[in-house]
A and B are shown apart, each in its own frame.
Chain A
């Protein structure tokens, strides 16, 4: 279970973007978070993924409050999440070839030896051919790069997936393909999902339940 308890977060203590928000995702559940642009839902997703320290409130992961955020969280806590961001261009290190990009978390956690096998499993799953794997991010399209970013998020077999506007930059067929990959992974592994987006139709088709930003008791809307 992933629980956000009374989270207040932002980039300036005087003007928090997210105010007193609570959200709960059961194990294996897919929750869609709907909200207009700029309302703070990405910030909430970053808090949920332990990438941003909230000003107040806690994140409870499987019944235990997390030990910290960013590097203060233990590697085990951080790698419990697979995170996919909105803009693949910015979320890929421009110097890494796609193959290295996907397997970088394995090297970072000292599981280098698993890299070739995981890559061989994941590349066909997300639909990346072997010639694409040897290219660098500027040599592939946004859609192809987002496929690689999704593969990177799955490479450590996370128990939670946080998809922050994962498909906002993509065309319909790539969107469908990536959502299918996420759903296949969840069916196989039982991972929970927090999908953040503004596309009501997509999130309602994709997720078990969707929550509107307004229902979360936040007063930071429109900020």
Chain B
């Protein structure tokens, strides 16, 4: 095989005996693709940075009393003093959006991390053990997957009092399944490689093979799955709050805000719905955009599936 590859690659001699100019490793030019991608990376990075900065700095500068209302100023349209307007009990929407985003990010990141740890552990275990253990674990994963995420999430949240932690638990427990599948597939593919054979032959224990050779191989995939999960988790948090099952109603949360804005939307007041909605969509798309670029790095052949 190596020989054929070499004869194909060998520089062709011209009649004069000098090697013809050949470019072996040149990639075919992508029309316009690189520029669009660079723009996407930059926009996503700036947006994510702005979001992180905002949720860290704003609460320090502008403390928010979650329970305070100002009925005299209710449902004001966006103006200089209230750039996003006020809601139906006169609270400033901009400040509540930032606070809501902070909760959403917290839930998203923590839930994604917990789900990734669970998923990686389960997937790696199933893949590394193989046989009936693998089949049993994957049937459990199938069982969980057969129930809609949101339904299962609602079921879990309903068992606790409203608060941040039940939401995190609910999102984490419903989102580890895909990570488990990804990690298991990756472990199965790595497990049959000759370098694992070489490690076994070199006297490595099961534990050492798993920790030194298998786990480092799946970490990029697991990390990517974690980042891609953050937007999902944020959407779930919003959905649970929107359904009234997430955070307590007085607390600033994007889902709560969209929910309480429903009545005023029917009356023609668009801002209490639009701005929290944008605060859900834009940061999640920015995170997904960055994750998509990472996925392209890891697996350039799957480019077409990336766009989120």
Contact = CB atoms under 8 A, between A and B. Distances in A.
A116 B199 CA distance: 19
Contact of B200 (A70, A85, A93, A149): A70
A70 B205 CA distance: 10
Interface string A201-218: 000000000000000000
Interface residues of B, number: 20
A78 B195 contact: no
Interface string B172-206: 00000000000000000000011101111111111
Contact of A83 (B201, B208, B213, B217): B201
A171 B197 CA distance: 25
A169 B6 CA distance: 11
A153 B201 CA distance: 9
Considering residues B197, B206, B212, which has the most beta carbons from chain A within 10 angstroms of its beta carbon? B197
Contact of A109 (B1, B2, B203): B203
B2 A51 contact: no
A169 B199 contact: no
B202 A104 contact: yes
Nearest to A75: B203
A163 to B, nearest CB: 13
A90 B195 contact: yes
Contact of B208 (A51, A85, A108, A142): A108
A107 B222 CA distance: 27
Nearest to B204: A108
Interface string B209-225: 00011001100000000
A91 B202 contact: no
B197 A85 contact: yes
Interface residues of A, number: 33
A156 B194 contact: no
Given A51-B200, A71-B206, A152-B202, A91 B2 contact: no
Nearest to A51: B197
A108 B198 contact: no
B192 to A, nearest CB: 10
B198 A170 contact: no
B203 A85 contact: no
A71 B207 CA distance: 10
Given A95-B216, A108-B205, A71 B200 contact: yes
B194 A108 contact: no
Given A71-B206, A108-B208, A170-B2, A91 B198 contact: yes
A108 B197 contact: no
Nearest to A158: B201
Contact of A91 (B197, B203, B204): B197
Contacts of A82: 201
A219 B205 CA distance: 35
Contacts of A33: none
Contacts of B206: 71
Given A51-B200, A71-B200, A90 B205 contact: no
Contacts of B201: 49-51, 78-79, 81-83, 105, 153
Contact of A87 (B194, B213, B216): B194
Nearest to A74: B203
Contacts of A104: 199, 202, 204, 212
Nearest to B193: A90
Interface in A45-89: 46, 49-51, 70-71, 75, 78-79, 81-83, 85, 87
Contact of A93 (B1, B2, B199): B199
A170 B3 CA distance: 8
Considering residues A46, A104, A156, which has the most beta carbons from chain B within 10 angstroms of its beta carbon? A104
A83 B203 CA distance: 12
Nearest to B196: A93
Contact of A105 (B1, B193, B197, B202): B202
B223 to A, nearest CB: 15
Interface string A92-114: 11010000000011001100000
A69 B208 CA distance: 17
B194 A79 contact: no
B202 A156 contact: yes
B291 to A, nearest CB: 22
A145 to B, nearest CB: 11
Nearest to B194: A91
Given A85-B197, A108-B199, A153-B201, 10 more contacts: A71-B206, A78-B201, A78-B203, A79-B202, A83-B198, A85-B198, A92-B195, A92-B198, A104-B202, A108-B204
Q: What 4 A-B pairs have minimum CB-CB distances, sorted nearest first?
A: A105-B202, A91-B194, A108-B204, A109-B203
Interface of B: 1-2, 193-195, 197-206, 208, 212-213, 216-217
9 contacts: A71-B200, A71-B206, A79-B201, A85-B197, A95-B216, A104-B199, A108-B205, A152-B202, A155-B202
